[in-house]
Structure 1
């Protein structure tokens, strides 16, 4: 070996993380697990014991973040999109496998797409594929600036352009960054499958200590709050669906939204099923449920394609996506800043804070969960294949859902005589109101059952995946079987977070807690981007000099 070769060091392949050898926390990092449990438990106790104080403090933090970090969230999400594009077209990166060079994918493409979509955004589709285009049809930055008419025919494509922004490439790019960062270092370097491993090119072996613990704790808290946000929307819709199929009016309050009893009922059902599924692992319960909800999703989407507003939806899909792609650079980088005068500038800032910044925080909070899950199911695929599969394909699925489900709702209100039946329904109830209007009482009731079952599979898939991922992080990246008490604890804890925040302040309280919890992890994700690019660059140099850059994981975690 030449002197130049000697200067090229092998990558870090050993990151010992101290775990307990015996006792209740055997196999787990006590520092990470106990701290995360105390933080999440403290949030629940605080919200229940001091609801007014919790609401005031959370609201104050939320206002501070929206006032001072809105531009950070906007630019960070733009960065994730650019990095994904760069990695896919960069020859040195695109052909590398997430794993050893001879690894092959564990799951078929259908199961892979099903698990990605179900865990990533599936729950939101049933609420927001109808509700969000309706919202933006009434108001969006183009309407605020006088460029389009509220609820007018000239505003249809704008409604889709902004809906696609929030649910398209940006959302999935954030998941892909987390998934690549985790998969690359776990399966090519043999490092623990945990968040800290993705930053080893920047911080090295120091991640074995308190710095690494802090990163993993932040990831666990962000995951719980991000999934709580998703489950919060799902609970509202689940209760609306159960009321539609005749379970009982006691599920709803006077305002037509979920009552306290309804919330508790939904949480018990959803988290009970989720915990049982989590105990069965990824290869059994989660895979089976993911395939089931993909089949039901195809059935429901086919219904909208065939019996919904087909031509209206096709126009929203193809022309709307074209408008989205043309406007994407501007939408990604534009930060609306108010002037305090209460005019257009303030309205634009308020809209962006309530929509785009909220969504970007939601996707960042969801990223450690979805990213680690994507890494686990994507071993053996190339980086280019991963980016195309984890960003482009699910985004297109979102576009199709929004165009045909939301498009049917808008068309029925504009031209189909719905007479505000859909628009006036609550967010979670809009899809039930729409299918009920289309099909009549009996067939609408039967479709409501299908939607409730589909919603249940999405909720269970998201929740049980989150429980397994949190336990993987707590166990220093160990993907093996986890002790049942820890799975049960996190299943109960996740349910209590959702129930406590919903009962105290509704969905707004969950949104606020999630935006706060996502902020520190957004910094971790920026560092992930830098670390991943540095690692791939260094590995390309190693490869050209014949220096080994792939290492199988060790059997034992210290």
Structure 2
């Protein structure tokens, strides 16, 4: 095989991706301390140089998507179908469960409590652990999991990909985001393979991390609840169980396993949300949600573009932005696969407006309940947080509620199925990109699902520094992906213009064919 034919093959992306993670794992297992040191240095430099750029990118992406949605272009339909095949409930369920993932359960309890105990820079004038700090703690959390985060994951990128795939005949993969600039030149070009590889590595790092950290969190939970030692063996066992769940789901296909898993997740999340609202501080939750959301909106410009402490931004906002940006191209592929027949306005409002508001209320319920108990009984939540870190907050909060014997296991199961949904959907998206077929085979999907689990297991075996290095690596991989995402600020308007021209031509053609002959 010649070099030219090699770089033109669909196998190049798989070869580069597998080769990269093999080298990553080899380096991590050979000398984890030295490897972590290098990764952390690169992490700090990446955040320092690209963090401010990511702030502007997130704002630009959201505002442009919103402008397109409310413009006449928002009425245009994406894809080839006039009506969607998937019901609105299932469509929203799959989007919510995949994007919210296990982080939505873990961080929804932990982050507001952390910001309540230690005020973020944007609200540094407020005293921590006082009732006045509640809305600012929740508002900061709303910002990290709000409009900007959701918008970058599935608005402009999805619009570009669906047009390039359905109307221009390109394969559904990250390089198609550059179609408005390069046409079909990258379809069989080595640079297109590199673009796809960076995107896969970014989303794989962002998916493997939660899978591995879930094993650690559940290990802690099992130890605190049942007294079983949180050993590496227990964590590996939990990890294999999680991987088995989403691998089976990936094997059965999007129209079976993933839709069923997403539906059960939403039903379970709503049921547990209602339980927390009834058993917890109901009035406090609703009052603080309104107050915090108002604080979020009022302080939106300062939160979005404020020049705060670089150290704090690196650990929080820039880390989250890097994580979400790294997910964006592959997440857009997943949403594109399930959004045929939806209008642009429907897509943008569902992903960038409705989903964030629902997420914010979820954060108010879990995080607000934790803050309420910390206000009422100082040390009840902050004590476990200081002893065992962020994973302890959810368990500590649930143990303050009635029926904790039911709620704690139920939330742990929900966290597991949320992470499993993300593993399933991202394995599917990776399989789509690396497969020569538009619909990857079940064995191809299974391979990537299990690969994500194997990498997480090896990093767990490498020690705590392994997963820590991967968490820092998420931000590093976001650097090249952010340049791809930034191109959508140019490519999306070009795509919209092409869609409007094509729509006018089709309308004129239909009108001409409908005119009776004289």
Q: Does 1:482 align with 2:454?
A: no
Per-residue deviation, residues 436-470 of structure 1 (Å, max 9, x unmatched): 2222xxx3222222122212211211111111110
User: The residue matched to 1:530 in structure 2 has which SS?
Assistant: helix
- Indicate conservation of the 8 Å contact 1:187/1:379, yes or no: no
2:42 to 61, 64, 67: 61
User: The residue matched to 1:125 in structure 2 has which SS?
Assistant: helix
1:221 to 201, 223, 234: 201
Partner of 2:136: 158
Q: Does 1:35 align with 2:16?
A: yes
1:304 to 273, 276, 280: 276
- 1:381 CA drift (Å): 0.3
2: CA distance, partners of 1:284 / 1:19: 37
- 1:396 CA drift (Å): 1.2
Partner of 1:318: 290
2: CA distance, partners of 1:125 / 1:389: 17
2: CA distance, partners of 1:130 / 1:417: 16
Partner of 1:408: 369
Partner of 1:197: 176
- 1:523 CA drift (Å): 0.6
Partner of 1:450: 410
- Indicate conservation of the 8 Å contact 1:278/1:468, yes or no: yes
- 1:365 CA drift (Å): 1.4
1:168–1:233 CA distance, 2 compared to 1 (3 A): farther
1:545–1:281 CA distance, 2 compared to 1 (3 A): closer
Calculate the aligned-residue CA RMSD, in Å: 2.4
Per-residue deviation, residues 39-92 of structure 1 (Å, max 9, x unmatched): 12211121112212211210111121122222112111112111211221221x
User: The residue matched to 2:316 in structure 1 has which SS?
Assistant: helix
Per-residue deviation, residues 187-231 of structure 1 (Å, max 9, x unmatched): 333321111112111011221211211111111111101112332
1:352–1:115 CA distance, 2 compared to 1 (3 A): same
- State TM-score, norm by structure 1: 0.84
Per-residue deviation, residues 302-352 of structure 1 (Å, max 9, x unmatched): 01111111111112211211111111122112233xxxxxxxxxxx22111
Higher share in helix: 2
Q: Which moved more, 1:195-204 or 1:164-173?
A: 195-204
Mapping of residues 281-296 of structure 1, within 5 Å: 281-296=253-268
- State TM-score, norm by structure 2: 0.91
Partner of 1:466: 426
1:328 to 281, 300, 304: 300
Q: Does 1:533 align with 2:471?
A: no
1: CA distance, partners of 2:117 / 2:366: 17
Mapping of residues 89-238 of structure 1, within 5 Å: 89-91=70-72, 93-100=73-80, 102-142=81-121, 145=124, 147-176=125-154, 177-208=156-187, 209-238=189-218
1:446–1:452 CA distance, 2 compared to 1 (3 A): same
1:19–1:383 CA distance, 2 compared to 1 (3 A): farther
Partner of 2:456: 498
- 1:354 CA drift (Å): 0.8
2: CA distance, partners of 1:546 / 1:297: 44
Q: Does 1:274 align with 2:232?
A: no
Q: Which runs of 5+ in 1 are unaligned?
A: 1-17, 21-26, 253-258, 337-347, 550-558
Q: Does 1:356 align with 2:312?
A: no
Partner of 1:552: none
1: CA distance, partners of 2:481 / 2:508: 32
1: CA distance, partners of 2:506 / 2:240: 56
2:221 to 237, 241, 245: 241
Moved over 6 A (4+): none
Q: Which moved more, 1:133-142 or 1:292-301?
A: 133-142
User: The residue matched to 2:129 in structure 1 has which SS?
Assistant: coil
- Indicate conservation of the 8 Å contact 1:413/1:422, yes or no: no
Q: How many residues align?
A: 499
